[in-house]
Structure 1
Amino acid sequence: MIYGMLRHGETQWNVDKRIQGQTEHPLSDLGRQQARAWGRALAGQGWRRILVSDLDRAVETAALINESLRLPVTPDPRLREQDWGQWVGRTVKELCEEIPDLVQEQEQHGWEFRPPGGESRTEVLARVLASLADHALNDGGSPCLVVAHKGALKCLAYHCLGWTFLPHEPDPLKPQRLHRFAWTSVNGEGRLAILNLNEHLEPARA
């Protein structure tokens, strides 16, 4: 089946470059405009359901997209952003200035990067893959739009690319793009593969 995956719209903490983790923040006015525009762009593409993180910024994004699509919406907490523990509310710049050695040490852990009191990227990947597997099994393979978070989407992309999550690897995801993945079952084992990263979201012309 096909998953079309989006990050939620902009929040004020995104603008401020603050780590949100699993805390709740509403969309900014621009974030709401983005979501409505994405809905118009995604109309008529054959989507059958919206699968969404249960955090408010993702739920609000999905609801605004759904003003155009009018689809069933299924929330799933397994699609949440990475839990950033004690680093929530901080900026990366602040952390690098105040605790540079700890930040550098964690960056070298790659997939096992874990903010103090938070979760690792390996754990994020496991729960997101479990969500996609369950949906693929239970929904008959219908194309599904997924609204989630940057950390969750990066884990899926790095997993499919076979990357290590070390600092020398560039971020493969551009902002405000649709990312298409295919879920297939081989010998009873589910596998995820990238079809297209960074697809432009441009509303269809009338």
Structure 2
Amino acid sequence: MSLTVHLVRHGRSTWNDERRLQGQTVHPPLTARGKAEADGAARHLVEVVGSARARVISSDLVRASQTAAVIGAALGVRVRLDPALREQALGAMEGVLTRDLRPQQTPKGAHVAEIRWGGGESIEDVYGRVSTFVGSEVDQARSDSVDHLVLVSHGDTIRVMEAYLAGRGHREVDWEVQVGNGSIRSIPAS
């Protein structure tokens, strides 16, 4: 049996519109545009999944759980919320307007992926969190004969999950990849 993992970014939120760093801030909801993006993702997944067995798991942050609810309803499956799929915690930077950010130097001898900017999580921390989660969920999906594992999450977390699924480490996340709101990245699980 083959398993496909679908990484879905939440629809546009009010803080996306305001250009605020969201991180793990729980409450920013979807905008009307974000709801339309969730609908579009759901329609696409219905076409791809068809009558195959699917499982939907979402970050528990509002913008992701609202997106996942639309997808789950369209696929006719219950959505499970899990904090392992949250965005990178950004500590004191959460809520800051992007225009107010100032460049910071990476400390000498440190790798940028291993710094906890703003007192939040490093990319290494996020990688540890999601690699454990995704590995376990892929194994469980195979055990349960699930064909499609839909993970609704956030831009940076999706980039990290994609690195993990491709067999790359936390220092090898592809930051050039654009992960738009409501986008889906479908990856065969190896």
**TM-score computed with the length of structure 2 as normaliser:** 0.82
In structure 1, the partner of 2:154 is 149
Is residue 2:112 matched to residue 1:110? yes
Judging changes above 3 Å, is the alpha-carbon distance between structure 1 residues 122 and 105 closer, same or farther for their aligned structure 2 residues? same
Judging changes above 3 Å, is the alpha-carbon distance between structure 1 residues 158 and 110 closer, same or farther for their aligned structure 2 residues? farther
Structure 2 residue runs without a partner (length 5+): none
In structure 2, the partner of 1:34 is 37
Higher strand share: 1
Map Cα deviations across residues 27-65 of structure 1 (whole Å, 9 max, x no partner).
111111111121112114225110111111111100112
In structure 2, the partner of 1:179 is 185
Is residue 2:22 matched to residue 1:45? no
SS in 2 for 1:105: coil
Offset of residue 170 of structure 1: 5.0
Contact 1:3 1:146 in 2 (8 A): yes
SS in 2 for 1:180: strand
Matched to 1:149, the amino acid is: H
SS in 1 for 2:33: helix
SS in 2 for 1:27: coil
In structure 1, the partner of 2:19 is 17
Map Cα deviations across residues 80-139 of structure 1 (whole Å, 9 max, x no partner).
01110000011333112xxx3xx2327x73321321221111110111111112212223
* Aligned-partner Cα distance in 1 for 2:45–2:29: 22
* Aligned-partner Cα distance in 1 for 2:105–2:163: 20
Structure 1 residue runs without a partner (length 5+): 185-206
Contact 2:6 2:184 in 1 (8 A): yes
**TM-score computed with the length of structure 1 as normaliser:** 0.76
Contact 1:22 1:84 in 2 (8 A): yes
How many residue pairs get aligned? The number is 176
Offset of residue 156 of structure 1: 2.4
Judging changes above 3 Å, is the alpha-carbon distance between structure 1 residues 157 and 91 closer, same or farther for their aligned structure 2 residues? farther
Is residue 2:62 matched to residue 1:62? no
Contact 1:110 1:165 in 2 (8 A): no
* Aligned-partner Cα distance in 2 for 1:182–1:173: 19
Runs of 4+ in structure 1 off by over 4 angstroms are none
Judging changes above 3 Å, is the alpha-carbon distance between structure 1 residues 138 and 156 closer, same or farther for their aligned structure 2 residues? closer
Contact 2:20 2:94 in 1 (8 A): yes
Map Cα deviations across residues 144-197 of structure 1 (whole Å, 9 max, x no partner).
11100112012123453748469xx7521341421122333xxxxxxxxxxxxx
CA RMSD in angstroms, aligned pairs only:
2.3
* Aligned-partner Cα distance in 2 for 1:113–1:82: 12
Higher relative contact order (Cα pairs below 8 Å, separated by 6+ residues): 2
Is residue 2:111 matched to residue 1:89? no
Q: Which moved more, 1:72-81 or 1:41-50?
A: 41-50
